[in-house]
Each structure stands twice: as structure tokens, then as C-alpha cells.
Chains A and B, each alone.
Chain A
Amino acid sequence: MKIGIIIKREYLTRVKKRSFIILTILAPLFFAALMFLPAILMLNSEKFDQKKSIAVCDESTLFVGKFDNTDVNTFIYIDNDINEAKNLVREGVYDGVLYIPRTELNLPVNAEIYSMRQIPMTLSEYINSTMQKTIEHQKLLASGIDPEIVKAAHTTINVQSIRMSEDESVEKKTYSEFEFLLGIVLAMVIYFVIFIFGGQVMRGVIEEKTNRIIEVIVSSVKPFELMMGKIIGIALVGLTQFLLWGVLTLGIYGIVSTFLPVQDVFSTGSVMSEQIVETAANADSEELLTQVFDVIHSINFKAILWCFLFYFIGGYFLYSAMFAAIGAAVDSETDTQQFATPISMLLIIPMVCSTVIANAPDSVLSIWLSMIPFTSPVAMMLRIPFGVPIWQVVVSVALLFATFIVFTWLAGKVYRTGILMYGKKVSWKEIFKWIKY
């Protein structure tokens, strides 16, 4: 089969490209770095943090002994006048001076830190929160309220939403924040993937047209075979890339987690934030962990994966057929704009509505957008983490596939005429005429 030869060339020339290899290897490394680097940096933060000694010039005397010394930060209470203290900083005795001015009537709400070099953000945040707590404490005492009562009254509310079904035994805890996020991420991925690989199809067609190899090829194979060979070959490149990304990401995750206790990595984040703002809701880490597992179990990843695959294939074929037709109609990439823009708009619509859809995944708008073939790949990805009735998925996928078959056929007609047409500014009217040939 000649289409097999074409698919093979389209696939191999792209997979062997340096840019493909680099992107395939670097992207998982980049994501891994994004995941692990902040944690690694935090674990080793002492190595990066410079020791700071801060002179406290507290005219109000309210904060004496309130600032705790840590490995990094040392607070020294001084009685000097602020101007003298500033001079001491200039001389390098202290890294900075915290100046809390005396207030006559009210409790102090302002403070100043003088330093030669910028004070680390964590330090100024620590000072801020410590002062805030101290003042609050003072105010409560002044009003005759025991701060312990306030502490005890602090409550964290957790509303658990549970999705019921006809079947009484099936009740599912849902985590809509997570589903929302997952939906947005999936929609973004499918949106970019369709654009990136659809764009590759278009550029591939333009390349064959501008370097004039096209006439030699169509004297050997049918234009439709060439177009389909290109579309399928590039689809396989995309699937290869996903597969490699998956394998590499898991591999990197495996390697890093053996050398680095993952638990530590993920708990440091909360340790740090505790240091800074010491939240009252000091969630039990074990409880947190079970919640994470709950969330993960509540998501049907298998269904999501299959849906992603179907909508990627359907959406990609639909759009790349249109992009191939555009590529055939124009003489160079600069001329593609007038045709590519309206088609891109179709894909952008659900992206613009993404938060609306993810907020109300079962609204009329959401259902319609996930049924219309041009918007369904993105819209359905937004809905799928929330759970979508099977019949809707089936109808939507069937519509998408039927549309891509019709559009591939129409695009084939435009393509056939367009690829041998040179030096002609083509209009939409012209393209519709080619469909009728």
C-alpha cells in the first residue's frame, strides 16, 4: 500500500528530527524540575539562606521577647535611639534594624525595617505575622476576652459533596475543585495538541507545495492518499510523543523518588508555610494523605484516558483535514491567516467558555458545546472529570467521527485542486467552488 509508504516517511522524518528528540526528553525533565526543584531547594534552604541578625528597636516595648531566634535569624533587642541603630547597620554590626515607633493612644500598627540590603521576604513576613498576633492578643486582653477562648472557637468547616445515582448503593464523594482543575488542564492539553499537530499538517502541505515536489508525488499517488498519509503519520508522531512523555515522566519520578524521600519533599512545603503563618487549622498530615488518596480514587482515570484518546483522534483529524485544505489553497505560510483564523475560532470558543463549563458541567451550554463536533474535544475534556452520562459521550464521539469523515472528504477535494494551483490569491468563494468540482 502506497499510503503506508507515505505514513512511514511522514512519521520517520519527524521523529528523527532533533527538535522532536529534544522536546520529548526535555519536557518531562522540565515538569519534573517544576515538581521537585522547589521542594529540593526548600529542603536545603539553610544552604541558600544567609544568616541575618536584626536589631529590634522597640519604643513601644510591647514586643520584647516575642521574636524567636532561629538558625537563620537572630533578634537582638537594643535600647539605642533609631538613628544610632541605623549607624550600627551602616557599620555592619547588624544586617538590619526593626523600628517600632512609640504610639501614645493606640497600639502600634506600623513598623519599619532599615537595612543596607533587601531583607528576605520570609523574614519580613515572619515579623509581620508575629506583630499582628501580638497586637491581636493585646486587643483581646484589653476587651477582657481570654485569647484561649478565641483559639478554641476557631473552626474549620469541611463540606463534603456526594454525588448520588439511581442505584442506592452508589454514592460518590466528589472533589469539585480538583475536578475543575483537572478539566481545565485536560482541555488545555487537547487544545494545544490539536493546534500544534494540526499546524504541522498545514506546514507539511505548504512545504510540498512550495518546494514543488507535489507534482511528482501526485503523478504516483492520489492526492487523497498523500493527504491522509500525512495526517495519519503526524497523528502517530503525536501518540509517540505522549507515550514517551508518559514513560519518561514515570521513569524520572521513579528515579528521583528513590534518591529523595518523596514524603519529605511534599511535607516540607507545609512545614515552611507553618513557619511563616502558623495556621490554626494544622491539618493532621495523615488525614491529608487519606484525603489525597480519596481524591485520586474518586477520579475515573481510565475513562478519562480513553476519552482523551478518542477526542484527540477525532478532534485532530477534523481540524488537521481543514488545515491540510488551507495549506493546499495558499502559496505560503503568510497567506494562511485569513483561512486559519475562522477555523481556530471554532476551537477557541470552548476555551473561552472553559471556566463557565467547568463551573456548571451539566448546564445547557456545556452539553451543547460538548456535542457540537468542532467544540466537543475541548468542551468534553472540561466535563469528563465530573462524570458525564455514557450516552452523551457516545453521541458526542459518534458525531465527531462522522463529521471528521465528511470533512476529510471535503478537504480532500479542496486539497486536490489547491495543491496544483500556483500564484493565485484564493478566496473562500473559490474554495467552496473547488468542493463542488
Chain B
Amino acid sequence: MNFLEIKDVNKTYETKQVLHDISISVPKQSIYGLLGPNGAGKTTLIRILNQITMPDSGQIFLDGKPLSKNDIANIGYLPEERGLYKKMKVSEQAIYLAQLKGMDSKEADKRLRHWFIKFGIQNWWDKKVEELSKGMQQKIQFIVTVIHEPKLLIFDEPFSGFDPINVNLLKNEILELREKGATILFSTHNMASVEELCDNIMLINQGRKILEGRVSDIKQQYKQHKYDVVYKPFDGSDVTRLTVNATNPNDLVRDIIEKGEIVSLNEILPSMNDIFINLVSASNK
């Protein structure tokens, strides 16, 4: 079942149409990657989902019902351009932002303490944000995004500014949130994390959708029938590695068996990075 359904959304700023009939379906409890080069319209789409801006036309359904003001409490949003009040205490700030999402301050306090223990940052409670490093602030920002336990999470470039250890921590948290039932929309340029995390993706360029589907299906679809072959030739020479084009793996195996002993044979699937670059540059022409 699809948790988030966007149908034929259009948006024009002044004379520039930034979204053309965008439709996407995000299955419940999945991680959905929103990909595209800078200026493709990702942020506009995300702002429309957050009801910061309104679409000119089109519909959005959340859990089968049209998106409404009440859904603010059901959405958690980590924007790409993010920050906190520098002079405010970490805990006060997090509780304030949770209250704006409709939470009761006592409940927010309780959950915040839980998160602080989980991340081992209890001594930050009374610190001001300006006393924290950038990476620390990002952790707080993550907590603020998820503290009201939203059903839909929107992360815009969540890993920028994190060190590898924190990126890993964050990835695990995102996966855990999905396990617990959250649906995650995830916008990034980091293709490695897309392959690692996303179940489905949509590729958008110049306001138009150019690709949508399961990551595994897309890789199959764009595979170029290349194989990585390692074999030990019968003539006694060294082990040889080859990249071979072949329409049929059986034929390939047959060919190699004649030449030597197969050590390994793998199909080379295109990386999301390659697919991204190829499709975007093709659609820009």
C-alpha cells in the first residue's frame, strides 16, 4: 500500500515552471530516494509536501487521505539548509520545536531525555547551541526531526556535514525508523547512500520526472550486459581478469570454459551514479 501519493503536481514561480506533472507513489515503510541535480525542483516538491508552499495544481494523499494542516504533526522534516537558535539552550529549543509540531511539553521533555541517553549526550542538556560543534548540532537537528514520531520523514541531504561515524549512526537510525513503521523520503546527491538505503527512487530533472522505480529493477533495466570474468588459462599463464560484453551468460561461460578454469564470473550492474549521470545529461540535450 502506498503511504504517500503525489498526483500531477505543477508549480510555477513567476514565469518559470519548476514542476511539471509530478506523480510519485511511496510505499508504506519504505525509503524513497528523491534524486536530481541542483535546481531540479526537489526542494520545491519537499516544500509542497511540508505545506510551506502550495502547488498550482495536483493532489497529494497521505495514508489515503488528502494532505491537510493536521498532517503537520505526522511529518518530520530535516531541511538541507538547517540551523538552530544559537543562544538558546539545546533542550529548551528541542522542546519548543516539538511543541510547534503539536506535542505536549512534558511528553517532549520525556522523549528528549530518552534520545539524549540513546546518543550518550546527556551533558548537552543545558548547553547553548553555539557551544556545540557543527556535527553535534546536526545530531540535535536529527532528534528534533524525529521526536514527535512522525509517520512520514523527509530528509533533505541528511548526511552533509557529518563525519563518517555519525553518517553511520544516522543510517542505522533511519533504518530503525523504517523498521518501526515510518515512511522515509530522502533527497540526496550521494549515490552510494542511495544504493545502500533506498528501496525506490525517482529521478527528476528540470522539473520533470525522468525515472521512477525500485532500485534493483532500475539497475536491471539499465544494465549493459557486462560481466567481470576471472579465469586461469590452460596454457599455464597467470590468472586473467576481463570485462566482457555478452548477451547471454551461458554463451559466455561456454567460451571461457574452452580457454581455462573459471575463478569467478559476475555480472556488472551499473551504479546509480552512472545511471544518474547518463540520464540527466541525456535529458539536458
Say yes or no: B100 contacts A211, CB within 8 Å: no
- The 0/1 profile, CB within 8 Å of A marked 1, for residues 2-41 of chain B is 0000000000000000000000000000000000000000
Q: Can you list 16 pairs linking A and B with CB atoms under 8 Å apart?
A: A2-B100, A2-B102, A5-B100, A13-B88, A212-B79, A212-B82, A213-B82, A213-B83, A213-B84, A215-B52, A215-B77, A216-B77, A216-B141, A219-B72, A219-B75, A220-B101
Most chain A beta-carbon neighbours within 10 Å: one of B83, B96, B101: B83
| Residues on the B chain within 8 Å of A220, using CB | 72, 97, 100-102
Tell yes or no: B196 within 8 A of A by CB: no
Residues of chain A lying within 8 A (CB to CB) of residue B82: 212-213, 215-216
Q: Which residues of A contact B77 (CB under 8 A)?
A: 215-216, 219
Q: Is A422 an interface residue (CB 8 A)?
A: yes
Nearest neighbor of B82 in chain A, beta-carbon distance: A212
- Whether B97 and A212, one on each chain, are in contact in the complex, defined by CB atoms closer than 8 angstroms, is no
Total interface residues on A, CB under 8 Å, equals 19
Bound: A212/B144 CA distance, A: 14
Which residues, 198 to 224 on A, are CB-close (under 8 Å) to B? 207-208, 211-213, 215-221
Looking at the assembled complex, report how far the CB atom of A115 sits from the nearest CB atom of chain B, in whole angstroms. Answer: 57
Contact indicator per residue, chain A 127-168, by CB within 8 Å of chain B (1) or not (0)? 000000000000000000000000000000000000000000
Residues of chain B with a CB closer than 8 A to A5's CB: 96, 99-100
Q: Which residues of B contact A216 (CB under 8 A)?
A: 77, 79, 82, 97, 141, 144
Q: Which residues in B have some Cβ–Cβ distance to A below 8 Å?
A: 47, 50-52, 72, 75, 77, 79, 81-88, 96-97, 99-102, 141, 144
On chain B, the residues within 8 Å of A207 by CB distance are 85
Q: How far is the CB of A310 from chain B (nearest CB, A)?
A: 32
Nearest residue, chain A, Cβ from B156: A215
Are B84 and A420 closer than 8 Å at their CB atoms? no
A218 neighbours in B (Cβ, 8 Å): 50, 52
Asked if A217 contacts B100 (CB within 8 A), the reply is yes
Please indicate the chain B residues that have their CB under 8 angstroms from the CB of A173 in the complex.
Answer: none
Question: DSSP majority for the B interface?
Answer: loop
* Chain B residues within an 8 Å CB radius of A2: 99-100, 102
Contact B87–A219 (Cβ < 8 Å)? no
Give the interface centre of B47, B96, B102 by most chain A CB atoms within 10 Å.
Answer: B96
Counting from the closest, the 7 A-B pairs by CB-CB distance are: A212-B83, A220-B100, A211-B83, A219-B50, A215-B79, A219-B77, A212-B81
**Complex Cα–Cα for A212 and B101 (A):** 18
Q: Is the CB of B100 within 8 A of A213?
A: no
- Cα separation A7 to B245 with both chains bound (whole Å): 67
Question: Which residue of chain B is the closest to A211 with respect to CB atoms?
Answer: B83
Contact indicator A219/B52 (Cβ below 8 Å):
yes
- Given known pairs A216-B77, A219-B72, the reply for A211 and B85 (CB within 8 Å) is yes
Given contacts A2-B102, A5-B96, A215-B82, 9 further A-B contacts (CB under 8 A): A13-B87, A212-B82, A213-B83, A218-B50, A219-B75, A219-B77, A219-B79, A220-B97, A420-B52
A430 to chain B, nearest CB (A): 11
CB distance from A10 to the nearest CB of B (A): 11
Q: Is A9 an interface residue (CB 8 A)?
A: yes
For A221, the closest partner residue in chain B by CB is B100
**Residues on the A chain within 8 Å of B81, using CB:** 212, 215, 422
Collect the chain A residues with CB atoms within 8 Å of residue B75's CB: 219
A156 to B97, CA, bound (A): 70
> Which residue in chain A gives the minimum CB-CB distance to B84?
A213
Q: Say whether chain A's binding surface is mostly helix, strand, loop, or mixed.
A: helix
Chain B contacts for A422, CB-based, 8 A: 81
**Distance in Å: Cβ of A1 to nearest Cβ of chain B:** 11
A residues at B contact (CB < 8 Å): 2, 5-6, 9, 13, 207-208, 211-213, 215-221, 420, 422
CB distance from B177 to the nearest CB of A (A): 18
Task: State how many angstroms separate the Cβ of B46 from the closest Cβ of chain A.
Answer: 9
A213 to B51, CA, bound (A): 16
> Which of A6, A9, A422 has the most CB atoms of chain B within a 10 A radius of its CB?
A9
CA distance A217 to B79 in the complex (A): 11
Residues in A whose Cβ lies below 8 Å from that of B51: 219
Given A216-B77, A220-B100, A220-B101, residue A211 in contact with residue B86 (CB < 8 A): yes
CA distance A216 to B141 in the complex (A): 10
Closest to A212 in B: B83
Distance in angstroms between the alpha carbons of A103 and B79 in the assembled complex:
92
Which residue of chain A is the closest to B144 with respect to CB atoms?
A216
Considering only CB atoms, which chain A residue lies closest to B49 in the complex? A219
A213 to B97, CA, bound (A): 10
**Cα–Cα distance between A422 and B75 once the two chains are bound (Å):** 24
Minimum CB–CB distance for A13 against chain B, Å: 6
The minimal Cβ–Cβ distance linking B54 to chain A, given in whole angstroms, is 11
Q: How far is the CA of A208 from the CA of B82 in the complex (A)?
A: 11
Complex interface: chain A residues within 8 A of B84 (CB): 211, 213
* Minimal Cβ-Cβ distance residue in A for B98: A220
- Cα separation A422 to B81 with both chains bound (whole Å): 10
Min CB distance A417 to B, Å, is 10
Identity of the chain A residue whose Cβ is nearest the Cβ of B72 in the assembled complex: A220
CB distance from A220 to the nearest CB of B (A): 4
Chain B residues with Cβ under 8 A from A215's Cβ? 52, 77, 79, 81-82
Q: Report chain B residues within 8 Å CB of A217.
A: 97, 100
Among A5, A207, A213: residue with most chain B CB under 10 A = A213
Report the bound CA distance from A429 to B231 in whole Å. Answer: 71
When C-beta atoms are compared, the residue in chain A nearest to B47 turns out to be A420
**A2 CA / B81 CA spacing, docked (Å):** 23
Give Cα distance in the complex from A220 to B96, angstroms.
11
- Residue contact B96 to A9, C-beta cutoff 8 Å: yes
* A211, A215, A420, most chain B CB atoms within 10 A: A215
In the assembled complex, the CB of A384 is this many whole angstroms from the nearest CB of chain B, namely: 39
Chain A residues in 8 Å Cβ range of B72? 219-220
Most-contacted residue by chain A among B84, B85, B141, B144 (CB, 10 A): B85
Residue among A2, A217, A220 facing the most chain B CB atoms (10 A cut-off) = A220
B60 to nearest A CB, angstroms?
15
Q: How far is the CA of A269 from the CA of B265 in the complex (A)?
A: 107
Q: Closest CB-CB distance, B138 to chain A, in whole Å?
A: 12
Instruction: Please measure, in the bound complex, the distance between the C-alpha atom of A95 and the C-alpha atom of B83, giving whole angstroms.
Output: 70
Complex CA gap A208/B96 in Å reads: 14
- By beta carbon, the residue of chain B nearest A210 is B83
Least distance between A300 CB and chain B CB atoms (Å): 43
Q: Which residue of B lies closest to A215 (CB)?
A: B79
Residues from chain A with Cβ under 8 Å of B79 in the complex: 212, 215-216, 219
Taken together as a complex, chains A and B put the C-alpha atoms of A219 and B83 apart, in Å, by 14
